Amino acid sequence: MKIGIPREIGPGETRVAVIPSMIPSLKHGTHEVLVETGAGIAASFTDQDYLQAGAQILPVATSLYESADAILKVQPPQIHPAFQKDEAELVREGSIYVGFLAPVANPDVVKIFTRRRITSFAMEYIPRISRSQSMDVLSSMSTIMGYKAVLLAANRLGKMLPLLMTAAGTVPPATVLVLGAGVAGLQAIATARRLGAKVEAFDPRPAVQEQVKSLGAVFVEMELPENIETADGYAREQSAEFIKKEMEAIAARLPKVDAVITTAQVFGKRAPLLISEEMVKLMRPGSVIVDLAAEQGGNCALTKPGETVEEYGVSIIGPINLPATIPVDASRMYSKNITTLFRHLFPKPDASLDFNDEIVRGCCITHAGEITNDIVKKSLG
């Protein structure tokens, strides 16, 4: 099988789907790997690095798409600026696509894939089960997001994070409140603690309380319902009454904190609103909110995706695609995830897809001219 790694064309995207050190594993003895020239440059991987790893370099994207039996990407297909054609149309008919897909948000791509009988796999739909942990790209990228969010907050904040005892007096530590203790939240807690901040964390799932405390943070408690998360480990969408109580618990902490990192998201739906405009007014002038749910609608009512706004003396940062700001390690982690998935999908050169397997079935979006994923099929009608 010929596996193609195109250069990402999305604005600001610096990651590459497969890094040179993973090429031997991806080739698996019989596969060929084709890489578009310059695919890894933004992540500090040169064409020479790929050549030395055993890949072939192709100078034009169309040549790669026409030759490849499988395309491995980061961003979902979009209009290619050089050809004014959707990348989904460039993927060879009847071939394979693996990468982020956001199928519900990209119905036209799904239609193209079904029409052209392309078998597609969405990285974000990989089931969160124990044997898929090494493929879990959402966790990998969330780790980077949680880390970088704290750095953004520290950079914007007009004070230092750690406690300092100096000849000029004692500098008290900054207080950071992390909303959501999933992968991104836990990494934010750990990073803020390493930088010396006093950290508090809130999450409606009681199961994460021990993890929060193990990182040295204070867990903010409230009365909780029993059905907080789904069987897949995602946060469940809660009632308006519960959200109101949740916001009251958060509001009580806001006058005492210097920075808030929000990470709350519900898979496939708009992010829950946790900080209203009135709640922002409770915060001290000079404080900072970093909203990691900005691309999904935001946890703060004043968040603007891709912008930093200042309201009532509070800076509200709405970052998008944070992993692309740390391309070397983001590409390294993504590459491990996608290579492991590909080898699971095709354990042998002549192996056919096993749709009885939970991982294969869960992340396959289109196959044989049909939408195969029930969630996507229901959403797109």
Q: Tell me the mean pLDDT in the region 309-326.
A: 98
Query: How confident is the model over 234-285, as pLDDT tens digits?
Result: 555 567 788 888 899 999 999 999 999 999 998 878 999 999 999 999 999 9
Would you state the pLDDT for residue 226? Answer: 52
Look at residue 8 and tell me if it is in a domain. yes
Query: How confident is the model over 138-189, as pLDDT tens digits?
Result: 999 999 999 999 999 999 999 999 999 999 999 999 999 999 999 999 999 9
Query: How confident is the model over 148-162, as pLDDT tens digits?
Result: 999 999 999 999 999
Q: Are residues 240 and 359 in the same domain?
A: no
Q: Are residues 295 and 154 in the same domain?
A: yes
Q: Catalytic positions, please?
A: 128, 133, 136, 139, 234
Q: Number of C-alpha atoms within 13 angstroms, CB side, residue 372?
A: 21
Query: How confident is the model over 110-119, as pLDDT tens digits?
Result: 999 999 999 9
Look at residue 133 and tell me if it is in a domain. no
What is the domain count for the chain? 2
Q: Are residues 146 and 31 in the same domain?
A: no
> How far apart (Å, rounded) are the C-alpha atoms in residues 66 and 61?
9
- Domain range spanning residue 187? 142-325
pTM of the model: 0.92
Q: Are residues 237 and 212 in the same domain?
A: yes
Instruction: Indicate the burial class of 345 (C-beta count within 10 angstroms; 0-12, 13-18, 19 or more).
Output: buried
Q: Pairing state of beta strands 32-36 and 56-58?
A: parallel
Distances (CA, A) of 172 to 161, 325, 360: 8, 30, 51
Q: Are residues 200 and 120 in the same domain?
A: no
Q: Are residues 305 and 361 in the same domain?
A: no
Q: Are residues 43 and 157 in the same domain?
A: no
Position 230 confidence tier, pLDDT thresholds 50, 70, 90? low
CATH of the domain at 288: 3.40.50.720
Report the range of poorest mean pLDDT among 83-87, 196-200, 230-234, 367-371. 230-234
Position 229 confidence tier, pLDDT thresholds 50, 70, 90? low
